[in-house]
Chains A and B, each alone.
Chain A
Amino acid sequence: MAALRDIKRKITAVQKTKQITRAMNMVAASKLKSAQMRMENFRPYAIRFMDVLKSLALRVDPKTHPLLAVREARKIRLICMTSDRGLCGAFNSNILKLTERFIRDKKADGLDVSLIPVGRKGRDYFRRKITAVNAHADVFGRFDMSLAVRIGEDVIPSFISEEYDELYLIYSEFNNVAIQRPVAVRLLPIPSVGLEEEVEPDKRLEYIYEPSEEALLDQLLPMYIRVLIYRALVETAAGENAARMMAMDNATNNCDEMIDNLTLRFNKTRQAAITKELMDIVGGAEALKG
């Protein structure tokens, strides 16, 4: 009889877990929606910003700028973006795996690697493994452009002062709700390839520049880095919630499956117990007749 009660208890426990995972699924879904909206809303800004930068890059040769200076790489810096919270499937472990491999490869090439973790999971993971320059944890609950500005302050002045030679960013690209792909991109020195693309003819008008072209470029290029960082932040936020939504959806389904199995076992055990009791009674009656 004890077994019966145990199974019942287990069913109740799984049902409670299911309630939690379902709630988390729904919370993640609504957060994903707002994160996706953020991505959508950021697009016009990014597009117009690139237009401005490109039209300026046409006028001024940007190759002379310190943020484009290619130096022989000896020290590199890495921004690794993870989420603050877990329970989102393989989202963080995918990023951490890529980061780990990336660091290993670079170290094998004899390079010195320093790290800026963004997001608590990454900071905790690398805490004892590698020295972090500056960590930004617990940031994804509420963030805006000023976070990208702060991260920019960690990397831009120190690149110009040649504290390190190359800057990489590892984050999760948000392809769609089901797919988030961890990618590593080089931020500094700024690859000039993107700036040389064709610009619409009407953008090539003669402009008045205030202040001078050079001074503007001086401000626009750091902003370009911030725009890229911000985009990565927004995509990480969306990816995290998408991954959690999927993970919790799976968990809810697994709970259903478990409840089904347990219920089946419960009924079987119950039936077995009844049968056994009946056998006992019948057996007893037979014996009395004897």
Chain B
Amino acid sequence: MADELMLEIVTPERVLFSGNIEEVTIPGTEGEFGVLLGHASLLSSLKFGELNYTKDGRKSFYAVNTGYAEVTGKKVTILVESAEKSDMIDVDRAKRAKEIAEQKLDKLSKDDPEYDKVKGALDRAEARLKIAEKK
């Protein structure tokens, strides 16, 4: 079918997904946004978070790291430094990362330059755990 939205998720390691979809929700830095066929051309940076798309009525979830999304009429290209499909996420590792980050966070004051870094790690671990539950 010609009138379908094409989605590509590309990481430095490989092309993670490439195919026609109905709808995609993207975690932009300025807020989450959905893209349907015929969306205006757009270039947005992404923040760490959940990306999901609907293909044949079924949703798939991905945890994506920072990167960019380029939308042109019929095509969405997601360029991210790393991405994981929800069923590929290593839950144990995410849990460990979360614990470590929580412990570190307890010891740090808010003014510490490390604080933001650790907080970011904690947020990412939590986001990954949440996405891992959706299958």
Contacts and interface: CB of A to CB of B under 8 A. Distances in A.
Interface stretch (A24-32, A116-124, A204-212): A204-212
Interface of B: 8, 10-15, 28-30, 40-45, 68, 70, 72, 77, 79, 81-82
Nearest to A47: B10
A44 B10 contact: yes
Interface in A152-166: none
A219 B43 CA distance: 12
Contacts of A146: 81-82
Q: Which of B10, B30, B43, B72 has the most CB of A within 10 A?
A: B43
A41 B42 contact: no
A219 B15 CA distance: 22
Nearest to A205: B41
A48 interface: yes
Given A38-B13, A52-B70, A208 B43 contact: yes
A220 B82 contact: no
Given A211-B29, A220-B68, A45 B79 contact: yes
A57 interface: no
A56 interface: yes
Contacts of A51: 70
Interface residues of A, number: 29
B12 A207 contact: no
A211 B79 contact: no
A44 B82 CA distance: 14
A52 B68 CA distance: 9
A48 B72 contact: no
A230 interface: yes
A215 B30 CA distance: 12
Given A145-B82, A220-B68, A209 B44 contact: yes
Interface string A201-225: 0100111111100011001100000
A205 B41 CA distance: 7
B43 to A, nearest CB: 5
B41 A52 contact: no
Contacts of B43: 52, 55-56, 207-210, 216
A205 B12 CA distance: 26
A44 B77 CA distance: 11
B53 to A, nearest CB: 18
Contact of A230 (B8, B12, B44, B72): B12
A207 B45 contact: no
A42 interface: yes
B34 to A, nearest CB: 14
24 contacts: A41-B14, A42-B12, A44-B15, A45-B10, A48-B8, A48-B70, A48-B77, A49-B79, A52-B70, A52-B77, A145-B11, A205-B41, A207-B41, A207-B42, A207-B43, A208-B40, A208-B44, A209-B43, A210-B29, A210-B43, A210-B45, A211-B30, A211-B45, A216-B43
